Amino acid sequence: MRYEFKLPDLAEGMVEGEIVGWLVAAGDAVVAEQPMVEVMTDKATVVISSPRPGTVLELGYQSGDIAPVGTTLFVLEVEGAAPEVSPEAPSAPAPGDQTTTSRPKAAPKLEAPAASAPASRAGDGPAAVARGAGKAVATPATRRLARELGIDIAQIEGSGPAGRVTQEDVRAHVDGKQRREAAAPVSPATAHAMAPLVARRTEGEESDKRVPLRGLRRAIYETMTRSKSTAAHFTYVEEVECTNLVQARERLRAASDAAGVRLSYLPFIAKASLLALRAFPKMNATMDDAAGELVLWGHHHLGIAAATDAGLTVPVIRFADDLTLIELAARVVDLSDKARRGRLSPDESRGSTFTITSLGRIGGLHATPIINHPEVAILGVHKMEPRAVVREGQVVARQMMNISLSFDHRVIDGHEGAAFAQRIKTYLEDPDLMLLEMR
């Protein structure tokens, strides 16, 4: 019989997913839990597995298509009479999976020993692994791997001879679990994507936890690792006097308010960066490490790093250089709102060619921003505050702000990066200059 698998909403607020690639083709026989298709949401790329064994009859979309939630992703020919349509969230972790992720019961108090014996040898406590037979067939090294990963090996179906659980099985189980959990609807409570997997006591502490990296956090982990392990970060810090910038914004506020757009400093910084990028095309680039080529982009897709409950997200203003100041302001407001609510479309969350990161009032003095791989430069913006500076031999108070530019020293020389930062500083210290170059 036919079984239609419909795209579930993999994350709260998700309306569609982009088909990154199919892992099966029509006519293929598939087993339960077999990975079928990679779908990219605004939060993460997720591999969707088949909930049932069967034969692939048809694929609903081509790679690159945008599939709305609830539409048929693929159709299987399956045995038996079962629901013809996938339930609402087939990729959610099965209740059985919870057994390995459940929190341990209240741990015994250190100083107040219980008088009674544990109910069994495999009783309470996170480290209480059952002894003896009746367990999965697996080598000692594999069993240790499972323990280290916090997995109950008995939950894993072995692929080896006589059902032996291999190290690959354990790793695949962990990956599948992460995907399933990443794919599970994200409620506000779990939006941190950091549910404790195993909380085992160490050193008598009851608060220690092991937090698995899943979903967005996993993606951040991988991007940051890739960036730090490839790019040769050079961070250049300069201070910017913002007296004129503050006045410019004050002058324009009335007009922007009338247009219904909140005008922050970020659009000015974005504009200054975009104008500087025009003069320094090497900064608006990405590294193709495999080809050993620096790709200089003709367009300017500006990434604006945003803190969300789920973690660092970088919404992207496409063709930012074509936008006016007030259009940039509107896009910044719109995208950061969408990012916070997890509603970015795929186009709005990838493809940036240069990134700005700003922590606003908690921006600190300076930092060493991590380049948004595979880009080659990122601009960090710090807090603006009155500081004592020397002007014409006199100590005076001025609105000051630091900028930290990190760039990939492999492809950008120090003086180039410095000149680029100086160009931005020039625009910000004298925003009127930007008028000369605005399109």
Partner 1 sequence: MAETLETRAVVIGAGPAGYVAAIRLGQLGLEPVLVEKGELGGTCLNVGCIPSKALISASKLVHQLGHSSEMGISCPDVKVDLAQMMRWKDGIVGRLTGGVGQLVKGHGGRVVQGAASFEDAHTLRIDGPEGERRLRFEHAIVATGSAPASLPGFEFDGRSVVGSTEALAWTTAPERLLVIGGGYIGMELGGVWQRLGSRVTVVEFEDRVLPGFDKDLARPVVKRFQAQGGTLLTGTKARGFRALKGGGVEVEVESRKDGTRRALEADVILLTVGRRPLSGGLGLEKAGVALDARGFIVVDGAQRTNVSHIFAVGDVAGEPMLAHKGSKEGEVAAEVIAGRPSAFDTSAVPAVVFTDPEIATVGMTEGEAKAAGYEPRAARFGFAGNGRALSLNDAEGFVRLVACAETGRLLGAQIVGPEASNLIAELGLALEMGALVSDIGLTIHAHPTLAEAVMEAANAVSGHAIHAPPSRR
- How many CB atoms neighbour CB 254 within 10 A? 10
Among 2, 103, 131, 253, binds partner 1 (CB under 8 A): 131
Q: Which of 81, 106, 115, 388 binds partner 1 (CB under 8 A)?
A: 115
* 377, 356 contact by CB (below 8 A): no
CB of 206 to partner 1, least distance (A): 9
CA distances from 409 to 232, 290, 296, 375 (A): 5, 18, 16, 12
Task: Check binding of 168 to partner 1 (CB under 8 A).
Answer: no
- Quick one: tokens of 86? 């996938």
Find the binder of partner 1 among 21, 83, 87, 118 (CB under 8 A).
118
Asked if 164 touches partner 1 (CB under 8 A), the answer is yes
Contact residue for partner 1 among 139, 243, 324, 422 (CB under 8 A):
139
The least CB distance from residue 176 to partner 1, in Å, is 20
**Site for partner 1 (CB under 8 A): which residue of 20, 57, 72, 201?**
201
Beta bridge partners of 156: none
User: Which CA distances in Å does 110 have to 106, 122, 205, 210, 245?
Assistant: 12, 19, 9, 20, 59
- Residue among 192, 233, 366, 409 flagged as catalytic: 409
Q: Nearer Cβ to partner 1, position 139 or 243?
A: 139
Cβ-count burial of 3 within 10 angstroms (0-12 exposed, 13-18 middle, 19+ buried)?
buried
Minimum distance of partner 1 from residue 131's CB (angstroms): 5
Q: Is the peptide bond between 374 and the residue preceding it cis, with omega within 30 degrees of 0?
A: yes
In whole angstroms, the minimum distance from the beta carbon of 29 to partner 1 comes to 24
What minimum distance in Å lies between the beta carbon of 161 and partner 1?
Answer: 6
Query: Three-state SS for 276?
Result: helix
Print the binding letters for residues 240-269 with partner 1: x by CB under 8 A, - otherwise: ------------------------------
Asked if residue 133 binds partner 1 (CB under 8 A), the reply is yes
CB 114 to partner 1: min, Å: 5
State the sign of the Cα–Cα–Cα–Cα dihedral 241, 245, 247, 253. Answer: negative
How many whole angstroms separate alpha carbon 408 and alpha carbon 414? Answer: 9
Nearer to partner 1, 203 or 432 (CB): 203
Q: Which is nearer to partner 1, 135 or 383 (CB)?
A: 135
Report, in Å, the least distance between residue 167 CB and partner 1. 12
Q: Residue 151 half-sphere exposure, CB side, CA atoms within 13 Å?
A: 24
Total interface residues for partner 1 by CB under 8 A: 45
110 binds partner 1 (CB under 8 A): yes
Q: Is 373 a catalytic residue?
A: no
| One of 27, 95, 96, 134 touching partner 1 (CB under 8 A) | 134
Residue 117 interacts with partner 1 (CB under 8 A): yes or no: yes
- In angstroms, rounded to a whole number, what is the distance separating the alpha carbons of residues 213 and 168? 19
The secondary structure element, H or E, covering residue 426 is: helix 414-429
The rounded distance, in Å, linking the Cα atoms of 369 and 360 is: 14
Q: How far is the CB of 142 from partner 1 (least distance, A)?
A: 9
Please report whether residue 161 would count as binding partner 1 according to CB under 8 A.
Answer: yes
Question: What does the alpha-carbon distance between residue 406 and residue 418 come to, in Å, rounded to a whole number?
Answer: 10
Residue 296 belongs to what H/E stretch? strand 293-296
Interaction of residue 207 with partner 1, rule CB under 8 A: no
Binding residue (CB under 8 A) for partner 1 from 204, 260, 292, 298: 204
Report which of 393, 104, 25, 401 is spatially closest to residue 249, judged by C-alpha positions: 401
Taking a C-beta distance cutoff of 8 angstroms, is the pair 292, 316 a contact? no
Helical (H) or strand (E) element with 260: none
Cβ nearer to partner 1, comparing 138 with 428: 138
Nearer to partner 1 by Cβ, of 161 and 260: the residue is: 161
Stretch that binds partner 1, among 119-127, 185-193, 354-362, 413-421 (CB under 8 A): 119-127
150 binds partner 1 (CB under 8 A): yes
Helix axes 325-341, 266-279, angle to 10 degrees: 110
Give dist(CA 48, CA 217) in Å, integer. Answer: 19
d(CA 432, CA 425): 13
Out of 107, 195, 237, 419, the only residue in the binding site for partner 1 (CB under 8 A) is 107
Q: Does 103 bind partner 1 (CB under 8 A)?
A: no
Q: Is 138 in the site for partner 1 (CB under 8 A)?
A: yes
Taken as a whole, the chain contains a residue count of: 439
- Residue ranges that bind partner 1, judged by CB under 8 A: 107-108, 110-118, 120-125, 127-131, 133-135, 137-140, 143-144, 147-148, 150, 160-164, 198, 200-204
Catalytic residues: 409
